[in-house]
Amino acid sequence: MQVDLQVSIKPVHQRACNASIIAFRFDTHYASAKQQAHKRYVGRITHDALTPPGNAHRAAPTKYTSTITIRLRDMKITKWLHIQELGSDQWVLPIYTAWHRAADQKRMPPLPSTIGDAGLAITTRLNLLPRITKRLQDDFGALAKDIIANAKDEHIFTSGHEGVPLPVDNDLKYLVIADLHTLVSELDASIDAMKKFMHAIHEHVGKPIADEQRKRLINDWMQQKGIESKWIVQLSSCRNFVQHMGAFYLAIDASDGRYDLLLVKKNVKVLDNPKTYVRLAMIDQIVTGFMACRVELQRHLISLLDEAA
């Protein structure tokens, strides 16, 4: 960024002839919405107001506070590189193929840029998901080894006994939390973008659908696949918690001689309330539901375009 300073000083005393800035405080609080939209920000300066020659009898310079406007200007780009895109997720391509086929047969207009841009954004998010999942598997695998190697009877908590917290590698712990937060957020963003994509294609085909119709379609698909449809509600709940309410903490269910990762929602010692934690198994169910949904949604949109009149 290049910063241009445009200073307009209006001293209180009319006979003050010049000023020197002695302090500056930048604060976007002073900028209006219109100024911010044009990258113009307003701050405050403190300056000396000096008297003109011939007024030596005046007292020492008086300090005033005035307004300063800052304009931020982007440096012009003269050279750049584009990064190659290969090996992308193929989810949107069969849908585009069906659209182009319908357009060639004069049953649909050419693919609009809005649909193309939406598909590109979906593809980018779908490319992220397997990489986030792989990172989570690797990080959690390393953390699990640390837990198994160090867990002893003294670390066990029960409703009647307070154990000693299990020390683990802090970097691994927070990497797992970061991976889980990212996975939940990107899954939610992906399904949200795919819903909007579905609605947009229905609009272009001339068969708009309401939210309730979409929900019934997805629930029917999940029922046919034998998948519990509440995964969407679970995903929304996890995402809202991470984005707006709190952060996951890690604990381990050591019941029945096995370890199961728990994503705890608040600072509690006794884990006797299912509302205070989420099991990792539920995240697995969300991923399974999402994968099944994307297959059926793709099939539905291709069929819709093939049947377009």
Question: pLDDT per position in the chain (309 positions), as tens?
Answer: 444 444 444 444 444 434 444 444 444 454 455 555 555 555 555 555 444 445 545 555 555 555 555 555 667 889 999 998 888 899 999 999 999 999 999 999 999 999 999 999 999 999 999 999 999 999 999 999 999 999 999 999 998 899 999 999 999 999 999 999 999 999 999 999 999 999 999 999 999 999 999 999 999 998 888 888 889 999 999 999 999 999 999 999 999 878 899 999 999 989 999 999 999 999 999 999 999 999 999 999 999 999 998
- Give the side-chain half-sphere CA count within 13 A for 24: 11
> What tokens appear for 12 in the block?
């209180």
- Please compute Rg for the chain using Cα positions: 30
CA separation (Å) from 287 to 186, 191, 280? 11, 11, 11
Looking at residue 62, its pLDDT comes to 54
Q: Which residues of 175-206 are buried (b: 16+ CB within 10 A; e: fewer)?
A: bbbbbbbbbbebbbebbebbbebbbbbbebbe
Looking at residue 77, its pLDDT comes to 87
CA 279, CA 202: separation in Å to the nearest integer?
Answer: 37
**Which string of DSSP letters, residue by residue, matches 169-187?**
-HHHHHHHHHHHHHHHHHH
CA 43, CA 69: separation in Å to the nearest integer?
Answer: 6
> What tokens appear for 151 in the block?
């867990």
Looking at residue 75, its pLDDT comes to 77
Helix or strand run (H / E) with residue 207: none
CA 51, CA 62: separation in Å to the nearest integer?
Answer: 9
pTM of this structure: 0.74
CA 89, CA 123: separation in Å to the nearest integer?
Answer: 6
Residue that has been written with the tokens 């004069």 in this structure: 106
Backbone angles phi, psi at 92, to 5 degrees: -80, -20
Contact 197, 122 (CB under 8 A): yes
CA separation (Å) from 62 to 20, 44, 111, 149? 11, 16, 67, 71
Helix, strand counts (H, E) of the chain: 7, 7
CA 111, CA 115: separation in Å to the nearest integer?
Answer: 7
CA 44, CA 68: separation in Å to the nearest integer?
Answer: 6
Residue 74, classed as helix, strand or coil, is coil
CA 87, CA 46: separation in Å to the nearest integer?
Answer: 57
